[in-house]
Structure 1
Amino acid sequence: MENKTARESVIYQIYPPSFMDSNNDGWGDLNGIATRIPYLHQLGIDTIWLGPVYDSPMIDNGYDIRDYYKIDPKYGTMEQFESLLEQLHHIDMKLIMDLVINHTSDEHPWFEQSRSAKDNPYRDYYIWRPAKSDGTEPNNWRSFQNESAWTYDEQTDEYYLHLFDRKQPDLNWEHPPLRQEIYKMIRWWLDKGIDGFRLDAINMISKHPDLPDASEDDPHPIGQKYYKNGPRIHEFLQELNRETFAHYPHILTIGEAPSLTMEQVLEYTLPDRKELNMVLAMDMMRLGKDPHDPWRSADWSVSQLKESVAKWYEHVFARGEYGVYLSTHDHPRMIPDVVGHHEHNMTAAKLIATFLHLIPGVPLVYQGEELGLPNTTYDRIEDYRDQGTVHYYEEAVANGQSAEKVLSGIHKRSRDGSRSPMLWDHQHHNFGFSPDEHVEPWIPFPEKRGLKGYSVSEQEEQRGSVLSYYRHLIAMRKQFPIMSHGSFTMLLKDHSEVFAFIREWQSQRWLILLNFADIEAEIDWTQEYRVFPTSMVKILGNYPHTAHPPHLEEEQYIEDLQYLRPYEVLIYRM
């Protein structure tokens, strides 16, 4: 396979349940992914991040692993996985697996042994504590489900810790035999030839050894300062690297590590520290979300975007690597809650694509993003599948909130907003998600919005579609190293709507202009003396070619650029 640097990659996340069903059970599977390899190849991405396909009870759609060594039958067989991997490698495409080693399913044999007796050899594979002297739980930490992070187990009269669902007990990384079991499993997968891992919640594996109570004023969820970036996190990651990753030099390791300072990012990613290749820059994906309440929205500004991009570039870009993304299986899609609405959705989708591929960092595209898919909403709570969503609804209604108000918040914030099935063929009832068009998927297609124009089949035939725009951007990234390696200089820092910057690499210099507003934006270049006097040639825009702005290859000057239309993108070679 071609050996590319991590920085030159374009990564595509597949959420397996919702990508493609091949056997008419309404659930995406490995053979379904294999049938769409030509589509992925034509898109131009070089690396697939595959969501977890391990054996699982599916309480959290595979992020609750029951057996690390087995493929869940809902996805297929190990032979089908190996065939998929071989087909991808044949066309020089890499596959990294999603790996969850902060917790397992409570149906994992380790946990079944652990809970059976206090003197069982597997007891210390998990984190057990007795009640406090007053009979209350070991501490006041809250899980990401906004309930106690402790569950009482009658069999041994103790509590076990779970930062996520109670059916996802946390592993005890303080216990050396547990770590060795994990390293053994990781080597087993790497020996199969996979190209690396995206490591879920990796900065949570080291907890404060005293498990102290947290202040009730802590941000959601309470207690996180005692389990994010814990006291032994770097010791654990360096041992993990030494025991596994270091023996496979061409793999890619990506850490999901929320709540990092820039100094901590470097600790995770500097090559000489031998921990991870990169972490995910998660702050941009949280635009429009209330940091203190996951079910509430918040105002956001273009200045927040500017600060985030500049911060990551200034502190990390020259020394470590990081991935940038705006949508994922864990967060609602950007459209229309953050940018775009109605007639501007497709234009805004191209703006998001340009931003993602032109700012410094490795772009990660979440399935459907290349079609401009909006966030999905459902009229009934019965149509939502995410356990956290359902739990929040039941609790909020029980506490006296109206069902309509609770659903309104869920519409914008539920993880299911990004999990509806891919739209392959608009001529089929189920959009070609299953071979039999009468098969209903595991989660419904959205009901509250029209789907016309969003399917792959329609966009394949539509000139100027979002899909064709993504293909063009990704092809440009392969052709022009400036997009992955170029320096970054911010312009118009105080402009409230326009994000403007210069990328520069060797003899090339590009100007990128992005209007994040749904209205026309005016630009005053008076203070930007550093870009005068320069003639430019337009190389990309997201509006059809008209007299304004000039056609491609027409020379113009920056002082002539006085207005940008709603969500307009302009890229110039200077």
Structure 2
Amino acid sequence: MPENVAGPADAWWSNAVVYQIYPRSFADSDADGVGDLQGISERLDYLAQLGVDVIWLSPVYPSPHDDNGYDISDYQDIGPLFGTLADFDRLLAAVHERGMKLVMDLVVNHTSDEHPWFTASRDGGPDGPMRDWYIWRPPREGMRAGTPGAEPNNWGSFFSGPAWTYDERSGEYYLHLFSRKQPDLNWENPQVRQAVSAMMRWWLERGADGFRMDVVNLLSKAPGLPDGPVPEGARYGDGSAHYICGPRIHEYLAEMHREVFAGHPRPLLTVGEMPGVTVEEARLFTDPARREVDMVFQFEHVGLDHGPGGKFDIRPLRLTDLKASLGRWQTGLGDTGWNSLYFSNHDQPRIISRFGDDSPAYRDRSAKLLATVLHLHRGTPYVYQGEELGMANAPFATIDDFRDIESLNHYRHQLAHGADEQQVLAGLRARGRDNARTPMQWDATDNAGFTAGTPWIAVNPDHKHVNAKAQLADPDSVFHYYRRLIDLRHTEPAVTHGDFHMLHPDHEQLYAFTRHDRERGTELLVLANFGPAELTVDLPAVWENSDTLIANLPATSPLTSTYTLRPWEARVHRRRTNA
């Protein structure tokens, strides 16, 4: 490792915990039914009590909100829905006063089609000075523009339909891997890269502490934009091989680091969201000697319960698959790079309804188990708002209850091609992103303390018994369990520095591993029973009568070589070693 390049385990963020806020659903201060920056400021003491170190804000920029703010129309302002730049400055100051940091969401694979850059690119026509800021192409040779199949290639959009939209004024198509209102920037153009770097520096100068970078590994597209293979039963090609970790992506991120982060006087955090990234690529992205990003978000483990038809084609999770996936990432980044640890975010359904058990009998217990397993891995944990309360999926009755463009497009697309409506709705209820976006459950009042107005999306009715006010008053609540887990990460070096060893990888119900801090002579044992049946485990004698660090149930007896775990029980034990 080159001189003056610290290893990840020595970085400030290695024992930190990040809390993601989805601003429109967190806290509404002005009764318009949408959360805002002032609402966040009013709830900072709650986050300080939880003990998190970093707050990540989903986008709060001006936006038409076609994709709930991930379609940005001005990178250097705050959207009026959320407040003003003065509100942001006050929030940032209040975050820093409490010893926390604030990370912005950076969305630069695409902009809104209402961004001035795109307006100039479109209105200037094929010969305009900003045409090359986006990816424009003429129709396929020999085909009439605007007809099916005339798109420049066969790629499908992540949000259903083709990844191209025809612009009649200029006679060309523009690329959008997501919504048609989210045109992709052309990162081959150095002016685009320079403008993005200048914008990022502007936010850092304002006091932001870093960036979570949305789909950042999609920036580089393969030359020629070739067709992708068409999966069986699909209408469009899978172009992912031509834009996931494309040929210049490492060059772009290294340049971004040089232009924005290198030599900065304050400690910063850079996180790359990278769908489809492999362990091998992630080692390159997060190798501190390469100076690209600090850590990545990978999607492998949150795709394990997707069927052949994609995320809305539901299949049960096999615990052995989860262990194999997370274990591979622990091993793969064990000596180089760093893991982001998450089960939940604004794009995923609620984890307790997905990998846990949200029935009254086991809701709290399984929420604590999932948190235990995640937070005891090597990496930086991310808590998504409400996860620390055990918030669950919402009971969406009809399509009218949904708000997310991905879900709405999928519903229309599937019904247009003959799918059964109830089957489509079942998939949306289980995996739709709106599950993560129902309002934060602060108390048992009608709108859960989120707003005095009409919420933009309905509050989950279970807030009457699952809410922050009740849990703050209950020392045995999910909230206080998360607080103890976060404190454990701050105080037990083995959680940060210990190596990782998976135990019983083929067991279908037991998730068990060790974290061994050889330098300090400490080893941790994590045991988790993923299921409603008791489970007897055989343990090495060295763990008999070891110290209990944290557990989601009171012990019925000391840990012995044969120990019975109750349904959804999780335990963490510590012993001293000689090496």
**Quick one: distance in 1 between partners of 2:543 and 2:120?**
72
| CA deviations over 1:86-144 (Å, ceiling 9, x no partner) | 11111110000000000000000011111111111110000000001131110000010
Quote the offset at 1:557 in angstroms.
4.7
Over 3 Å counting, the alpha-carbon distance change for 1:185 and 1:533 in structure 2 is closer
- Name the CA distance, whole Å, in 1 between partners of 2:308 and 2:355: 15
Matched residues, number: 553
- Counterpart for residue 4 of structure 2: none
Superposed, which structure 2 residues align to 1:220-259 within 5 Å? 222-248=238-264, 250-259=267-276
Alignment of 1:193 onto 2:207: yes
1:46 positional shift: 0.4
Q: Distance in 2 between matches of 1:322 and 1:180?
A: 29
Match among 150, 153, 159 for residue 139 of structure 1: 153
Aligned to 2:430: 412
Read off the aligned partner of 2:18 and give its amino acid letter: I
SS of structure 1 residue aligned to 2:515:
strand
2: CA distance, partners of 1:456 / 1:221: 45
For residue 340 of structure 1, what is the aligned residue in structure 2? Answer: 357
Number of the residue aligned with 1:553? none
Among 499, 523, 540, the residue aligned to 2:550: 540
Task: Identify which of 136, 158, 162 aligns with 1:148.
Answer: 162
1:290 aligns with 2:301: no
Alignment of 1:134-533 (within 5 A): 134-135=142-143, 136-217=150-231, 222-248=238-264, 250-290=267-307, 292-342=309-359, 343-426=361-444, 428-434=445-451, 436=452, 439-447=453-461, 450-505=462-517, 506-525=520-539, 532=542
Q: Give 1:230 deviation, angstroms.
A: 0.3
**Structure 1 residues 119-128 or 512-521, which shifts more?**
512-521
How many angstroms apart in 2 are the aligned matches of 1:409 and 1:217? 20
Change (3 A) 1:389 1:485: same
In structure 2, the gaps of 5 or more residues are: 1-9, 144-149
One-letter amino acid of the structure 2 residue matched with residue 233 of structure 1: I
**SS in structure 1 of the partner of residue 500 of structure 2:** strand
After alignment, is 173-182 or 281-290 more displaced? 281-290
Structure 1 residue 291 displacement after superposition: 6.0
Kept after mapping to 2: 8 A contact 1:532/1:558: no
Distance 1:291 1:41, change over 3 A: farther
Following superposition, the deviation at residue 292 of structure 1 comes to 4.5
**Matched residue SS, 2:252:** helix
Query: 3-state SS of the aligned residue for 1:140?
Result: coil
Instruction: Please name the residue that 2:146 is paired with.
Output: none
Kept after mapping to 1: 8 A contact 2:229/2:239: yes
Deviates more, 1:367-376 or 1:498-507: 498-507
The yes-or-no answer on 1:10 pairing with 2:28 is: no
Query: SS in structure 2 opposite 1:68?
Result: coil
Any conservation in 2 of the 1:453–1:459 contact (CA below 8 Å)?
no
CA-CA distance at 1:533 after TM superposition: 6.6
Pairwise CA distance, 1:539? 2.6
CA deviation after TM superposition for structure 1 residue 391, in Å: 1.4
1:221–1:301 Cα change, 3 Å = farther
User: Deviation at 1:194?
Assistant: 0.6
SS in 1 for 2:196: helix
Kindly provide the CA deviation profile for residues 466-502 of structure 1, in whole angstroms up to 9, marking residues without a partner as x: 0111111111111111112211122222221111111
d(CA) in 2 for partners of 1:9, 1:317: 18
Separation in 2, partners of 1:519, 1:341: 16
Q: Does the Cα contact within 8 Å between 2:525 and 2:572 map onto a contact in 1?
A: yes
Report the Cα offset of residue 297 of structure 1.
Answer: 1.2
1:402 to 1:537, Cα distance in 2 relative to 1, 3 A: same
Tell me, yes or no, if structure 1 residue 67 matches structure 2 residue 74. Answer: yes
**How far 1:4 sits from its partner (Å)?**
5.9
- Give, in whole Å, the separation in 2 of the partners of 1:180 and 1:557: 59
CA drift of 1:558 comes to 3.2
CA-CA distance at 1:282 after TM superposition: 2.5
**Structure 1 residue 462: Cα displacement:** 2.0
Distance in 1 between residues matched to 2:260 and 2:269, nearest whole Å: 12
Partner of 1:50 in structure 2?
A: 57
Residue aligned with 1:62, SS: coil
Task: For 1:520 and 1:260, locate their aligned partners in 2 and report how far apart those are by CA, in whole Å.
Answer: 37
Q: Distance in 1 between matches of 2:372 and 2:291?
A: 32
SS in 2 for 1:271: coil
Instruction: Indicate if the aligned counterparts of 1:284 and 1:325 stay in contact, CA closer than 8 A.
Output: no
Post-superposition Cα deviations, 1:26-85, rounded to whole Å, max 9, x if no partner, equal 000000000000000000000011101011111111100000011000000001101110
Confirm or deny: 8 A CA contact 2:330 2:339 kept in the other structure: no
Answer with 212-221 or 80-89: which moved more.
Answer: 212-221
Counterpart CA distance in 2 for 1:283 and 1:177 is: 34
Paired position in structure 1 for 2:6: none
8 Å contact from structure 2 (residues 14, 496) kept in 1: yes
What is the CA–CA distance in structure 2 between the aligned matches of 1:390 and 1:402, rounded to whole Å? Answer: 15
2:99 maps to 92
Q: Is the 8 A contact 2:229 2:237 kept in 1?
A: no
SS at match of 2:277: coil
Residue identity opposite 1:258 in structure 2: P
AA of the residue aligned to 1:50? L
C-alpha distance 430-221 of structure 1, shift in aligned 2 (>3 A): farther
Amino acid at match of 1:463: P
Q: Which amino acid aligns with 1:213?
A: D
- Structure-to-structure mapping, 1:14-25, within 5 angstroms: 14-25=21-32
Partner of 2:340, secondary structure, is strand
Deviations 1:139-167 (A, max 9, x none): 00001012100000001000000000000
Letter in 1 for 2:53: D
Give the match for residue 33 of structure 2: 26
- Structure 2 partner of 1:35: 42
User: SS of 2:312's equivalent?
Assistant: coil
Offset of residue 339 of structure 1: 1.6
What is the TM-score normalised by the length of structure 1? 0.93
- Give the counterpart letter for 2:141 in structure 1: S
Contact 2:439 2:460 in 1 (8 A): no
1: CA distance, partners of 2:529 / 2:127: 62
1:485 aligned partner, one-letter code: H
Distance 1:4 1:46, change over 3 A: farther
Match of 2:245, as an amino acid?
N
- Could you tell me whether the CA contact under 8 Å between 1:103 and 1:171 is conserved in 2? yes
Name the SS for the 1:321 alignment partner. coil
Partner Cα separation in structure 2 for residue 500 and residue 207 of structure 1: 40
Q: CA deviation at 1:169?
A: 0.1
TM-score (norm 2): 0.93
Query: What CA distance in whole angstroms lies between the structure 2 residues aligned with 1:566 and 1:230?
Result: 45
Distance (whole Å) between structure 1 residues aligned to residue 426 and residue 501 of structure 2: 40
Work out the percentage of aligned pairs sharing the same amino acid: 44
How far apart are the structure 2 equivalents of 1:341 and 1:246?
45
Q: Which residue of 2 aligns with 1:127?
A: 135
Whether the 8 Å contact between 1:282 and 1:324 is mirrored in structure 2 is: no
Summarize deviations over 1:438-486 as a string: whole Å, max 9, x none.
Answer: x111111135xx3342100111122311011111111111111111221
